[in-house]
Structure 1
Amino acid sequence: MDATRNTALEAWMKEHGHSANSLADKVNETVERMRGRPSGFDGSSVRDWKSGRVTWPNSTTRAALEAVTGLSATRLGFVPRGQAQPSPASPQEDPDMKRRTLVGGIAATATAAVAPGAVAQRRIGMTDVERLQKRFAEVIASDHRHGGQPGIEQRATELAEEALNLQSAGSATQRVRSNLYAAAAAFRSSAMWAAIDGRRYVNAQQHMREAQALAEMSGDQAMKFRIWSHAGTMHRHMGRPADAFAANDVARRLHITRRDPLFASLGLARQVAIHGAAHDHAGIQRAFDQAQDAMYRADPTVPRPLWMRAFYDEAELHSLALSAYLALGDHETAEDHAHQCLAALRPHMVRSAAITRTRLAHCQLAQGKTDAAVTSAMQVPVTAATEHARVSRMLTEFGAALRATAPGSPVVQTWTEHTATWRASA
């Protein structure tokens, strides 16, 4: 069956004198203002929207179209995923009558938006935002328990779409709309982090682009910081320290880091790990001292976003220093930071504890402490060892290094038997 044409978009274009190419130019200009770089829409893109081949553009495109037209995506004839397509018009229907019916329907919808008890265009308020914020708290908690799982990434992506769909579901104040964009950006940034943590970097970069556009529309400085800071971490894990420095510097230049020393501290703490990837010993220590100083200056009574309160503390600072010194090959200093991290970790940081114990095992093994190294590695939970991409890879590397360091020794046999239990329980 042929795709159902988007007659609402066609009608708007005709009424406002737009060709496919002129609308594409307007959308490109709007996306460039939102994202700081051009997009590649052309006449064929608009024809895909009109023909119904594209029924629900991505969130950035929808936001740009809404800004250009002043209408919501659904009123422009786009259909959210999972909803039924509108019935095609009868072939015998008079085109002028069809247009009058369409415009009349849009007017009726607009009237319904302000009518008491309206269902199609209900009032969207802060209670809707608060409901999304509760879902965000659940995503954050799931990440700290499990980390990097595709299910977390998918759930966060779906919730971002849900937040954006509310923009089109009814009338709302500008404050509410900004909060909805911030919620969508928060979910997208969590999807981005889950993809980074699971080493799905192509996915992470797509989530990053969506999150950046949404954060710009929300005007939320803290969320912009989170996204650019995550981008720095992503590039570090991809082995691109120059790009990591550049992305993290964007986060560190945001004025929120001047208002709140704790944001400045987090930016510097992530700089510590990037210096490690760049093998800059002096840079590691300098950034660590500055991050610690900023953390001590931060007022603990200042309200901060949930995502930051949930993870950034002394333990995370030592975790990033551990990563830096491990990359540098200074295993003794790295081990010291690992012990300090584990001593300060809060109980809900299950994923972080697994990563820290795995890195500690590597530090100890590199110093010839094979028994202690195996003991540390065996404390990593089975779920993290088998399901978390980063932990699983590091433990595989640990096993290979252990066998190379102490071939045929009893400790190797102990490790081999322990890992066999993982496979049996997986």
Structure 2
Amino acid sequence: MASSTVPPPRPDRPQRPNLAFRRLRGHRSPAEFAALVRRAARDIGERVSCDARYIGRVEAGEIRCPNYAYERVFLHMFPGRTLTDLGFAPRSSVRGRGARMEEEAPLTYPGRTTRSPADAPGAGETRRTYEPYDTQDPYDTHHDHEESDVLRRAFMTGGGATVAAASLGPLGFALEAPAPERPVRRASSSHAGALEEAVRRIRLLDDRHGADGLYRRAATPLRAAYALLDAGATRQATVDRLHSGAGELAISVGWLAHDSGRFDDARSHYAEALATARMTGDHALEAHAFCNTAFLARDAGRPREAVRAAQAAQRVARPLGSPRLMSLLALREAGGWAGLADRTGCEQALARAQALYARGDTDADPEWMSFYGEAELEGLEAQCWSTLGDWPRAARHARRAADLQDPHFTRNIALYTAELADDLARGGRPDEAAAAGLRVLNLLSQVQSSRIQTMLAGTARVLLPHRRASGVSDFLEKHASTPRGVTPA
């Protein structure tokens, strides 16, 4: 059998932070800079899924040389500079001969290793084929193709029981039947990296498409993650990464269950993550688990539990030094107070959240918080006022949230607009509510979220008596004819 053309990882070449790229970011947060990258890509007809996580990986030196799509975007953003000026390594030093072949054909990127159809099995050498850029999955942020291949192979060949061959494929989780069971002797840093990448991909797909279509497929990498934990690792640093990655993956899968209405499943996943955090003394993971538990408790009608969980999260998170994290946790607490109809408690928590947010981002902000910007703050505040029955105030914040949201977060745009439609309907503005509802229905071809569908159903019920108002009948008819997405099991 011919050997793979993908070179092995090079442990003798340590990562070096990309300080040049960090200087170019300047005072902007990673999320703000990522938004500029996406905007620049649209300007030149490219499509990249850059987010704060990708910027962090570049600055940490994990991505030594970007793929060609990113190269074109970066050179467009900083005219007159070369990749070396931006702090990246020369492509030839990263990929060797393969890179030189690519540079001769700059409109392609490394594809799969295949055999010529005329080659008999085992009789010929493998060859590289190249595919156009538009075949690249636009939501795949693992843009170092060499590293991606290494991690995929490591996870497949050394992974735990029921790891599918596609478990870390382009979408980040299994889409096909599981591979035969393969026992794990010891997990490695490559396994940990593959696990962390699965978490990133699930989050990106949820941001774009919502949870309903993702939840069941995300269960396979979660099982694989705990198989890796059972196998153990020789180095403590790898063990710590595996525990943290498994806990974050449990939270991500829990969120998919939560957003698709499977509250019992979500509670179980969050509890698993919390147990993992406490076993290992991982305060960041514990704060994240409590944060999501508070959100779930609010949605499940247990507001007092939401307050307690949010306060517990704040106690754990305080030493971590992230004002933005503390701001989000204060918002979780505010949601609980709103559910208890305690307006004073809610207003105090909202004031803390706003003051903490105003302190800006720091290097201590967790990676998973890339979604938390001004739009999310406005959206969560809108939910608080809606729960308290202050419809005009809720509508103002929901409108601002939808206007401020980055286009990448399609699900959140739909969520905030659905919140706006409901607040307008309950506040006696049926025509505006119907217009907002129609905007949400137009997004449902891209987004599958039981939460959003449930909100729209409630809005439709409120608008029924106003069928003759301008635009309301159009919304009601389109809502009635729109098929529901995946329903909770």
Instruction: Report the equivalent of 2:284.
Output: 222
1:347 aligned residue: 407
Does structure 1 conserve the Cα–Cα contact (< 8 Å) formed by 2:334 and 2:347? yes
TM-score by length of 1: 0.67
1:403 aligns with 2:403: no
CA, structure 1 residues 359+81, in 2 after alignment: closer, same or farther (shift >3 Å)?
same
2:376 counterpart (269, 293, 316): 316
Q: Does 1:304 align with 2:370?
A: no
| Equivalent residue, structure 2, for 1:131 | 194
Residues 254 and 200 (structure 1), Cα distance of their counterparts in 2 relative to 1, 3 Å cut: same
- Which structure has the greater CA radius of gyration? 1
Structure 2 residue ranges without an equivalent (≥5): 1-159, 165-181
**In structure 1, distance between residues paired with 2:478 and 2:341:** 34
Give the 3-state SS of the residue equivalent to 1:329 in structure 2. Answer: coil
The equivalent residue for 1:9 is none
- Contact 1:236/1:277, CA 8 A, preserved across alignment: yes
How many Å separate the matches in 1 of 2:267 and 2:476?
37
Is 1:211 paired with 2:270? no
> Cα–Cα, structure 1 residues 275 and 167, in superposed 2: closer, same or farther, change >3 Å?
closer
Please name the residue that 1:164 is paired with.
Answer: 226
Which amino acid in structure 2 is aligned with residue 160 of structure 1?
L
Say whether the 8 Å CA contact 2:303–2:336 is kept in structure 1: yes
How many Å apart are 1:156 and its aligned residue? 3.4
Report the CA distance shift for 1:188/1:329 in structure 2 as closer, same or farther (over 3 A).
same
1:336 to 396, 405, 427: 396
Whether the aligned pair in 1 keeps the contact of 2:331 and 2:380 (CA below 8 Å) is yes
The answer on whether the counterparts of 1:382 and 1:422 sit within 8 Å (CA) in structure 2 is: no
Residue 367 of structure 1: which of 427, 431, 436 is its match? 427
Does the 8 A contact of 1:257 with 1:263 survive in 2? no
Percent of counterpart pairs with the same letter?
27
On the 8 A contact 2:430/2:472 being kept in 1, the answer is: no
* Range with greater deviation from structure 2 (229-238 or 281-290): 281-290
The 3 A distance-change label for structure 1 pair 123 and 284 is same
Q: Which residue of 1 aligns with 2:342?
A: 280
The partner residue of 1:188 within 237, 245, 250 is: 250
| Structure 2 residue 235 is the aligned partner of structure 1 residue 173 | yes
1:121 CA displacement: 6.5
- Secondary structure, counterpart of 1:153 in structure 2: coil
SS in 2 for 1:162: helix
Q: Assess, with a 3 A threshold, how the Cα gap between structure 1 residues 425 and 184 changes in structure 2: closer, same or farther.
A: closer
Q: What displacement does 1:256 show?
A: 4.1
**1:27-426 alignment runs, 5 A limit:** 80=161, 124-149=187-212, 151-169=213-231, 171-256=233-318, 259-298=321-360, 300-309=361-370, 311-382=371-442, 384=444, 387-404=448-465, 406-409=466-469, 411-423=471-483
| Higher fraction of helix | 1
User: Compared with structure 1, are the counterparts of its residues 171 and 423 closer, same or farther at alpha carbon in structure 2 (3 Å cutoff)?
Assistant: closer
Task: Give the direction of change, closer, same or farther, for the CA distance of 1:340–1:257 in structure 2 (3 Å limit).
Answer: farther
Seen in structure 2, the aligned counterparts of structure 1 residues 398 and 226 have a Cα distance that, compared at 3 Å, is: same
1:318–1:338 contact (8 Å) kept in structure 2? yes
TM-score for both structures, normalised by structure 2: 0.58
Supply the AA of the counterpart residue of 2:453: S
Q: Let me know the Cα RMSD of the aligned residues.
A: 2.7
Q: Secondary structure at the match of 1:297?
A: coil
Structure 1 segments unaligned to the other structure (5+ residues): 1-78, 84-118
1:251 CA displacement: 0.6
Q: Deviations over 1:341-375 (max 9, x none)?
A: 12221222211111111111111122322211111
Letter in 2 for 1:308: M
Matched residues, number: 309
Q: Distance in 1 between matches of 2:189 and 2:441?
A: 40
